[in-house]
Amino acid sequence: MIPYIQYLGDNRCEFTVWAPFLNNLAIQFIDQDNAIHMEKKSHGIFFKSLENISPDTLYYYRLNDQYNRPDPASNFQPHGVHGPSQVIDHTSFVWQDKNREGIPLAKMIMYELHTGTFTQKGNFDAVIPRLDALCDLGVNTLNIMPVAQFPGERNWGYDGVYPYAVQNSYGGPDGLKRLINACHQKKMSVILDVVYNHLGPEGNYLAQFAPYFTNKYKTPWGDAINFDNAHSDMVRNFFIQNALYWFKFYHIDGLRLDAVHAIFDMSAKPFLQELSEKVEDYSKKKKRKIYLIAESDLNDVRLIRPKKTGGFGLDAQWCDDFHHSLHALVTGEKTGYYQDFGKLEHLKKAFKEGFVYSWQYSNFRKKHHGNSSINRPNEQFIVFSQNHDQTGNRMLGERISTLVSFEALKLIAGVVLFSPYIPLLFMGEEYGEETPFYYFVHHSDNDLIKAVRNGRIAEFKDLQWQGAPTPPDPYDKENFMKSKIRWEKRENDHHKILLNLYTCLIQLRKTIPAIANLKKNNLKIHNEKMNLVLKLERWCQNSHIFCVMNFHKEDQSFQMNFSGNPWGKILDSSDRIWDGPGSSLPQRINQTERLIIRPLSFSLYKKEILS
Amino acid sequence: MIPYIQYLGDNRCEFTVWAPFLNNLAIQFIDQDNAIHMEKKSHGIFFKSLENISPDTLYYYRLNDQYNRPDPASNFQPHGVHGPSQVIDHTSFVWQDKNREGIPLAKMIMYELHTGTFTQKGNFDAVIPRLDALCDLGVNTLNIMPVAQFPGERNWGYDGVYPYAVQNSYGGPDGLKRLINACHQKKMSVILDVVYNHLGPEGNYLAQFAPYFTNKYKTPWGDAINFDNAHSDMVRNFFIQNALYWFKFYHIDGLRLDAVHAIFDMSAKPFLQELSEKVEDYSKKKKRKIYLIAESDLNDVRLIRPKKTGGFGLDAQWCDDFHHSLHALVTGEKTGYYQDFGKLEHLKKAFKEGFVYSWQYSNFRKKHHGNSSINRPNEQFIVFSQNHDQTGNRMLGERISTLVSFEALKLIAGVVLFSPYIPLLFMGEEYGEETPFYYFVHHSDNDLIKAVRNGRIAEFKDLQWQGAPTPPDPYDKENFMKSKIRWEKRENDHHKILLNLYTCLIQLRKTIPAIANLKKNNLKIHNEKMNLVLKLERWCQNSHIFCVMNFHKEDQSFQMNFSGNPWGKILDSSDRIWDGPGSSLPQRINQTERLIIRPLSFSLYKKEILS
């Protein structure tokens, strides 16, 4: 593996850059007139070791004596995507997380957070004071949306162009380190969202250095990253080193790999497999388990199968089918990909197997889709009732809280947190935040701004025919400001009640073995015929729970069949303490009987242990 | 699975065609004025059942009342790629191959044959009289280059545009059936080369019917076939039905799948896996083993791994690495992909593992390449010293017989036939045919002819700088005629000697258990340090052989180390009966000793069994 820029201490710095087709590459320090020429080594690597380089030195690479360009592996871009790169001394930060144990995957309660809109200040330091509240909620793992330097100050992060540089407006390298350090001190793990399928359009000078891209495949964002053509070894090196960089210098506990379906790679050892091998090697060497979690649109267990059975060996993946099943069921929406969902059967299959589409015909995709995940362990799936995409990719960025009733919100919380998968909350979800999560960008290129605006309008053309408003302007700062969550709401009214419910559900999930246990076989699920009631049983040794969920907007009756010990009620979301209409279910069930459950509610029972 | 045109007997015929975006589709019979409108059913299928349709009826499909186009699934194009399609009665042919047993993969001796140049007549019927000679040679499996209708009369077959229509100039459906019937009567199996990665450029009207293609991926021949995008189910149906069609109506025993590396497919059940599933189902139902053999540039065992360990479950693949190792070693060529080969080490690894590149850096590809095939059974690899590509893709189409000495030709034969893989000969190889195998086309579109010519010139630009002649004109009929093999040569001179040697080697391969046995563990191979001698031991129960091969142009000494019974010589390619300089090796070796082997020769010994 080839490293890139490395500050070695004592004002010594090694510069390494890959540019196989250039003859002439130099380092242009901002405070010096003359550029310093680098030596070309094998495989197109330029190298220079220099002394008297203090940390924080600003530099460009100078290409063929003509252009100054930032370092593709820049560790920091203090003046944005077009400005000079800065030398960073990663040894100077004082970490206080020695000997910590990370949260094991199966015990993770994830919280997805967008740094720019989580707080008014919109930076890493502003997150820290809120960590205690997240710990109180029960969350133990932050999932931070991408932080690689993007153009301007407003972006989801998927337009990042310097994979190694922490966004300047978020607080740069030290800001991120302070946040991670604080998380680790509070025993929280941190997963970082990284984008290895494309780079943003503005400030992307990589193609001037080397064949990072290929036109052999098309992605929604243009040419694909070259993972399997000539020279792809060094492209892979760039991204694999990036992964290791986050673990080494930022103590990151895992990566969320964005949209791996847009990583096209026909080689005999696909990039994702190589990445997973290298991360596994690093994990073993450091005796610290690091997780790789994919976002994928493919419903393909190849991603998460072990390498020895032909898989890539990733640890887990997000399970969109679970979300879509739940969302379509509670909202009744039927557009776009929701047309493939909407029946209780779908949610039931998601509970039992993970993927709902396991090579069935998808009307949305107009083709068969997916393969079966029935044999994959349950901790390999991350589930959620919303995330940045499922809100922000709506024309108006609506969160689920503005689409369904309060009763339904509570039900949704129960579905996710009592599911036998890894739950993920989207920031603000825990108290029913209603602010939209808009799509926003802050490019400086006018053509690009126009293109993004028009793209957004084109995307929702169909909706506009139906008389809806036009999409909010992604470039308008107001829309970014409106997307910031209002943390203070959590203290009041039904926000507070929902927060208490989430806290209670997470607590139950952590403490009741039958819920904490994610084993596939310890689950029984049925739906009552012809109505929208789901009955879920889970067990683990002596612990045995029963959960009934009513997706109907009216009271529903269901049959309680059992043998053995009676069941004691633990929680009913329709109870008055949760601002519901009041429970219709008994505290204790000791005989087979027909019971009534309130609209859009769930209730949890635990089998009593008689001594 | 949806069928296409089906003649049902008694002048009844069902027409089925897929055209999801057309509103109006009709059948236009050549001898009728009015077109007959078809009914549009679900999934964009148009259907019409008609009576009074005699076999041999000519028809077009009429698109939106505007254009007449041949049937994409046409069974016959008697007037070429632009002409009408013909109804074919597949039930009328009288097969005489009932209850035959096909040749098991591990026992196949393959012979690749291009129908147009194998005989002067260039059709199927002309092949039949030569089958006895092939049987005498010991060949038991024909590998017929593609027969799908292509433009004109001269083509390798990879410009085919009607995957179901047998080339008119080769003799059409009945001609092919007669050939296969004759093969089966002689206990030969037939493998057909099919092209599922692209269709030829001329006469390709498929895109006017349906989204058969996608611009998401690029192949060397333009847009890729749509195997994973919207509507790909029916594209897969088209090709899977095609595979089954050859088994059902033509009694084909297996398919060679052309260039599967150009089949781009990211879906959770890739096309090749689905194809292999469906063919397996058919095989089981018919109780007749049918083989799928891939040509692949990927060195990826995923193709041939069983489905349960994440593979596609194909039966075998061609092993180019074996060829390249052998070719580079004996010719000393260093251009193109041969730059990655040329050492005895490469051939040794090919013998031991199959793939030489199992994730090593390839200088030709400028990247790491391949994965390890060490755990795959040896009968999964087809090996050869030449094939249509390895001759025809050279600028001058030279066969190996014109590149190396007669001694080397014999050595090459021994390497392939004593290898623990499935051997394949390219027509004429067995008697050292020297006619070139040129690249030839017979398009009718002038622009296309020009493009092919220029493409060929561009491809060999580098060679022309070195002062070589320009590439022969692919459109010139003379170059096609020159590519026809001269079968009569096999009776004379060194041609006859080589033919005898091939016959003898195949006979030995079939009768000596240690050679016939393809088990991976029953093989020991070493090269003598610093020279070009390869020593190969193989065994199976009581049978034990030793083969020594000298790739040097001078006598070489080698050490014979052994314990146990003495070895008796079976064959030495340097013997005078093979027109060699005379063997320097003893008839019998009964002690460890240093021996001398002739230049470019091989010798085979068998361990004697003492009673």
* Residue pLDDT, tens place only, A51-70: 999 999 999 999 999 999 99
Q: What share of chain A is helix, strand, coil (3-state, %, to 5)?
A: 30, 25, 45
pLDDT of residue A527: 84
Containing H/E element for B167? none
A294-352 tens-digit pLDDT: 999 999 999 999 999 999 999 999 999 999 999 999 999 999 999 999 999 999 999 99
Q: Which residues contact B561 (CB under 8 A, 6 or more apart)?
A: B592
- How far is it, in rounded angstroms, from Cα A41 to Cα A604? 66
A231 at interface of B, judged by CB pairs closer than 8 A: yes
pLDDT at res. B466: 62
CA distance B275 to B196: 11
Sole residue written with tokens 């019937």: B181
Are A368 and B305 within 8 A, CB to CB?
A: no
Collapsing DSSP states into helix, strand and coil, what is residue A446?
A: helix
Give the model's pLDDT for residue B521: 84
Helices (H) and strands (E) in chain A, counts: 16, 31
Contact (Cβ atoms closer than 8 angstroms) between residue A115 and residue A180: no
- Inter-chain touch A215–B215, beta carbons under 8 Å: no
CB pairs under 8 A between A and B: 89
Q: What is the pLDDT of residue B467?
A: 66
- Beta-carbon contacts of residue B470 (< 8 Å; ≥ 6 apart): B457, B460, B464
Beta-bridged to residue A58, according to DSSP, are A86
Minimal CA–CA distance to B54: which of B15, B4, B93, B8?
B8
Using alpha carbons, list the distances in angstroms from residue A182 to A105, A188, A389, A424, B4.
Answer: 20, 9, 27, 20, 66
Catalytic (active-site) positions of B = 258, 295
A258 part of the active site: yes
- DSSP secondary structure letter of residue A404: S
* B301 to chain A: closest CA residue: A268
The most distant pair of C-alpha atoms in chain A lies apart, rounded to whole Å, by 88
Mean pLDDT, residues A537-564 taken together: 92
What's the count of helices (H) and strands (E) in chain B, helices before strands?
Answer: 16, 31
Task: Please tell me which residue in A71, A228, A295, A321 is annotated as part of the active site.
Answer: A295
Mean pLDDT of B374-394: 96
Tens digits of per-residue pLDDT, A225-281?
Answer: 999 999 999 999 999 999 999 999 999 999 999 999 999 999 999 999 999 999 999
> Does A269 sit within 8 Å of B359, measured CB to CB?
yes
In this complex, which of B299, B309, B365 lies closest to A309 when CB atoms are compared?
A: B309
Q: How far apart are CA B231 and CA A142, in angstroms?
A: 39
Question: What confidence tier does A462 reach under pLDDT thresholds 50, 70, 90?
Answer: confident
Contact criterion met (CB < 8 Å) for B309 and A311: no
In angstroms, the Cα distances linking B141 to B175, B245, B425 are 18, 20, 10
Output the pTM of the full model.
0.96
The answer to whether the Cβ–Cβ distance between A261 and B261 falls below 8 Å is no
Q: What is the DSSP string of B35-83?
A: PEEPEE-GGGEEEEEESS--TT-EEEEEETTTEEE--TT-S--TT-TTS
pLDDT band at A220 (very low <50, low <70, confident <90, very high): confident
Give the pairing of strands A12-18 and A6-9: antiparallel
**Average pLDDT for residues A9-27, to the nearest whole number?**
97
Least confident residue range of A10-24, A25-39, B459-473:
B459-473
Cβ atoms within 10 A of the Cβ of A365, count? 20
Give the confidence band of B554 by pLDDT, cuts at 50, 70, 90: very high
Sign, CA torsion A455/A460/A466/A469: negative
Question: Distance between CA A416 and CA A588 in Å, rounded?
Answer: 25
Q: pLDDT band for position A531 (50/70/90)?
A: confident
- For residues B84 and B165, the answer to whether their CB atoms sit within 8 Å is no
| Mean local confidence (pLDDT), A97-119 | 96
Provide CB contacts within 8 A for B611, sequence distance 6+: none
Task: Provide the sign of the torsion angle of the four alpha carbons B204, B210, B215, B219, taken in this order.
Answer: negative
C-beta atoms of B228 and A301 within 8 A: no
Please report where in the chains the tokens 């070009």 appear, as a residue: B532
pLDDT digits (tens, 9 = 90+) for B40-83: 999 999 999 999 999 999 999 999 999 999 999 999 999 999 99
Pairing, β A316-318 against β A381-383: parallel
**Is the pLDDT at B396 greater than 90, yes or no?**
yes
Structure tokens at B332: 């000393």
Domains and CATH numbers, chain B: 6-86 (2.60.40.10), 105-507 (3.20.20.80), 522-607 (2.60.40.1180)
* Distance (Å) from the alpha carbon of B356 to chain A's nearest alpha carbon: 13
pLDDT tens track for B181-223? 999 999 999 999 999 999 999 999 999 999 999 999 988 887 8
Structure tokens at A304: 């998460």
Backbone angles phi, psi at B196, to 5 degrees: -110, 15
Q: Which residue of B has its CA nearest to A274?
A: B359
Minimal CA–CA distance to A296: which of A277, A309, A315? A315
* B278 neighbourhood in chain A, CB within 8 Å: none
Question: To which residue do tokens 């897929």 refer?
Answer: B18
The answer for A 188-217 residues in CB contact with B (under 8 A) is 215-217
Can you tell me the mean pLDDT for A124-147?
Answer: 98
Contact by Cβ (8 Å): A359, A331? no
Q: Is the dihedral of CA A44, A50, A55, A57 positive or negative?
A: negative
CA–CA separation, B65 and B58 (whole Å): 18
Mean pLDDT rounded to a whole number for chain B:
95
Spatial contact of A59 and A19, defined as CB atoms under 8 Å apart: no
Mean pLDDT of the A432-447 span = 96
Identify whether the C-beta of residue A13 lies closer than 8 Å to the C-beta of residue A91: no
pLDDT (tens digit per residue) in B124-149: 999 999 999 999 999 999 999 999 99
Average pLDDT over residues B495-522: 95
Give yes or no for a contact between A204 and A158, defined as CB atoms under 8 angstroms apart.
no
Q: What is the ipTM of this complex?
A: 0.94
- Using alpha carbons, list the distances in angstroms from residue B351 to B105, B325, B356: 18, 10, 9
pLDDT over 90 percentage in chain A: 91
User: Which residues in chain A have Cβ-Cβ distances shorter than 8 Å to B368?
Assistant: 233, 267, 269
> What average pLDDT does the segment B348-367 reach?
97
B470 touches chain A (CB under 8 A): no
Average pLDDT of the residues in B504-521: 94
Q: What is the mean pLDDT of residues A9-13?
A: 96
Give me the helices (H) in A99-212, please. Answer: 115-118, 124-127, 131-137, 172-185, 206-209
Selection from A306, A303, A330 nearest residue A404 by Cα: A330
Six-digit token pair at A20?
Answer: 């196989």
| C-beta separation of A418 from A602 below 8 A | yes
Query: Which chain B residues touch A215 with a CB distance below 8 Å?
Result: 218
With CA atoms as reference, the chain B residue closest to A365 would be B230
For B:282-341, CB contacts with A below 8 A are 298-302, 305, 308-311
- Local confidence band at A461 (pLDDT 50, 70, 90 cut-offs): confident
Report the distance separating Cα B406 and Cα B496, nearest Å.
12
Is the pLDDT confidence value at B296 over 90? yes
Inter-chain CB proximity A216 and B215 less than 8 Å: no
For residue A214, the cross-strand partners are A224
Closest CA to B415 of B350, B353, B357, B356: B350
| Chain B interface mutation, best of A43, A227, A269, A278, highest count of B Cβ atoms under 10 Å | A269
Q: Do B115 and B170 meet the contact criterion of CB atoms below 8 Å apart?
A: yes
pLDDT value of residue A255: 98
Report residue B611's pLDDT band, with 50, 70 and 90 as the boundaries.
low
Between β-strands B593-597 and B556-560, what pairing exists: parallel, antiparallel or unpaired? antiparallel
Is B229 within 8 Å of A300 when comparing Cβ atoms? no
Nearest-neighbour CA in chain B from A157: distance (Å): 25
Rounded to 10°, the helix B493-511/B406-417 angle is: 20
pLDDT for the residue A468: 67
| HEC readout, A270-293 | CHHHHHHHHHHHHHHHHCCCCEEE
Comparing CA positions, the residue from B203, B237, B574 lying closest to residue B408 is: B574
DSSP track, B367-428: EEE----TTS-GGGEEE-S--HHHHHTSTT---GGGTS-HHHHHHHHHHHHTSSSEEEEETT
In whole angstroms, how far apart are CA B353 and each of A15, A166, A455, B519? 41, 46, 52, 12
Question: Is A253 a known active-site residue?
Answer: no
**Mean pLDDT, chain A, integer:** 95
Which residue in A has a C-alpha nearest to residue B271's C-alpha?
Answer: A368
Q: Is B264 on the interface with A (CB under 8 A)?
A: yes
- Set A193, A253, A258, A579: catalytic member: A258
Q: What is the pLDDT of residues A170-219, one digit of tens each?
A: 999 999 999 999 999 999 999 999 999 999 999 999 999 999 999 999 88
A18, with CB counted inside 10 A (0-12, 13-18, 19+), is: buried
**Contact criterion met (CB < 8 Å) for A367 and B229:** yes
Chain A residues touching residue B370 (CB < 8 angstroms): 268
Query: Residue A202: is it exposed, middle or buried by C-beta count within 10 angstroms (0-12/13-18/19+)?
Result: buried
The rounded distance, in Å, linking the Cα atoms of B471 and B454 is 10
Region of B354 please: left (phi>0), alpha (psi -120 to 50) or beta: left
Sequence-distant contacts of A31-37: CB under 8 A, at least 24 apart: A31/A58, A35/A62, A35/A65
| B277–chain A nearest CA distance, Å | 14
CB contact (8 A) between residue A268 and residue B218? no
Mean predicted confidence (pLDDT) in A43-52: 96
Residue B562 pLDDT: 84
